[in-house]
Structure 1
Amino acid sequence: MDVVRHGGIAAAARRVEPSGPPVRADLEDVFRAAYARVVGVAARVLGTRDEAEDVAQEVFLSFGRTAVPAAEAPGWLSVAAAHTALNHLRSGRRRAAREGQAGDGLAVSPDVADAVVTRDEHRRVRAALARLPRKHAVALVLRHSGLSYAEVAATLGLSPGSVGTTVRRAESALREELNRHASSSD
């Protein structure tokens, strides 16, 4: 949160994009209230806090240029974090570097087999999540990031009663995707 200590997110946004549209006056308040949730949603998708913080920066800079009412900011930011993280995951821009760095630390791990299996399982789940329809992927990410059914419903524009069904279908689709790729890689 160095941004907050060095003049705030609004000041940082002005330094990054001085010629763009004006930055919202309420950006700093929204940032302080929602930063942890945005990073949490992105981290669920990406698996690393560093990348999640990069996504959060993108999301807040985008939010700073919107006219979304502050009351709707938590939902907008959660969905934007999930979408942006999924885009990063799907693009694979950082995946190769991350996997290369992860391989360097194997020699010092006390239980190399467990570390490799866990890392491979996480990679497989993230890859399967990236192949799901966006609505299912976002519903899973939001629900498993700690949002309540009511919050997921409000965020995705669903009826509260349909969230459970959507999440169950998404979980089923994720399992099928994992099984399909597990059997094709054997």
Structure 2
Amino acid sequence: MTTLPRPGGFRGDLEVVFRSAYPRVVGVAARVLGSRDEAEDVAQEVFLSFARSSVPAGEAMGWLSVAAAHTALNHLRSGRRRAAREESAGVEDVVAGDVADAVVTLDERRRVRAALARLPRRQAIALVLRHSGLSYAEVAAALDLSSGSVGTTVRRAESALREELIRHASSD
């Protein structure tokens, strides 16, 4: 059943869907972006789009998960505020721990995010959703795949990610 928008433009089931899906949406976005603050910004965008949509409530979790991954990848690809965020995070991390470890960790995260952004969108999303804790069945439903092909898609995405990391290792 599709819930039609109320006169103000938002869905009647928004609060229920929001309460149940918010942690997953933020989790998926945080997995891509590496920042809870940025992930919460993405979640806000995603729920605003959902609020104006006619997506059936029963399909909301899959739709929201994919939308979170898409939106987070868009933010990642645009590079908006990323450099400033990593620098500020680096300063805080260095105070708490070893300087060399903090620098290596930040560099590795930056390289993985950059490689993820270069993957084909479907592979990147499958990888993000699976590593965000979604089951094979949930990833399959979200990406309109058969459950049997999720493992293959994720393995190919992991392989492609490794290749991207190797290919750009010398240039980074």
TM-score bracket relative to the smaller structure? over 0.9
Instruction: Assess if the C-alpha contact under 8 Å between 2:129 and 2:139 holds in 1.
Output: yes
Structure 1's 132 and 107: CA in aligned 2 closer, same or farther, altered over 3 A? Answer: closer
Distance 1:44 1:92 in 2: 16
**How much has 1:109 moved relative to structure 2?**
3.8
Contact 2:27–2:132 at 8 Å: present in 1 too? yes
Q: Give me the TM-score of the superposition, normalised by structure 2.
A: 0.92
Q: Is 1:77 equivalent to 2:55 in the alignment?
A: no
Task: Choose the corresponding residue for 2:112, options 125, 134, 150.
Answer: 125
- Report 1:39-78 matches (<5 A): 39-78=26-65
Aligned to 2:168: 181
Change (3 A) 1:58 1:162: same
Residue number in structure 2 paired with 1:4: none
- 1:172 matched to 2:170? The reply is no
DSSP-derived class of the 1:184 partner: coil
Partner Cα separation in structure 1 for residue 94 and residue 30 of structure 2: 26
User: How much has 1:94 moved relative to structure 2?
Assistant: 1.2
How does 1:1-186 map onto structure 2 within 5 Å? Answer: 22-105=9-92, 108-185=95-172
Cα distance in 2, alignment partners of residues 72 and 59 from structure 1: 14
5+ residue gaps, structure 1, are 1-13, 15-19
After superposition, the CA RMSD in angstroms is 1.7
Structure 1 counterpart of 2:95, which letter?
A: V
- Code of the aligned partner of 1:33: S
SS of 2:97's equivalent? coil
Change (3 A) 1:131 1:21: farther
Structure 1 residue 107 displacement after superposition: 5.4
1:63-103 CA distance string (max 9 Å, x none): 00000000000000000000000000000111121133234
C-alpha separation between the residues in 2 aligned to 1:60 and 1:106? 31
TM-score (norm 1): 0.85
Counterparts of 1:174 and 1:133, CA distance in 2: 10
User: Any idea what SS the aligned residue of 1:182 has?
Assistant: coil
Tell me which amino acid in the other structure corresponds to 1:170: A
2-structure distance, mates of 1:48, 1:107? 17
Gaps of 5+ in 2: 1-5
Partners in 1 of 2:16 and 2:169 — Cα distance? Answer: 45
- Relative contact order (alpha carbons < 8 A, sep ≥ 6): 1 or 2 greater? 2
Query: Which residue of structure 2 lines up, in the alignment, with residue 9 of structure 1?
Result: none
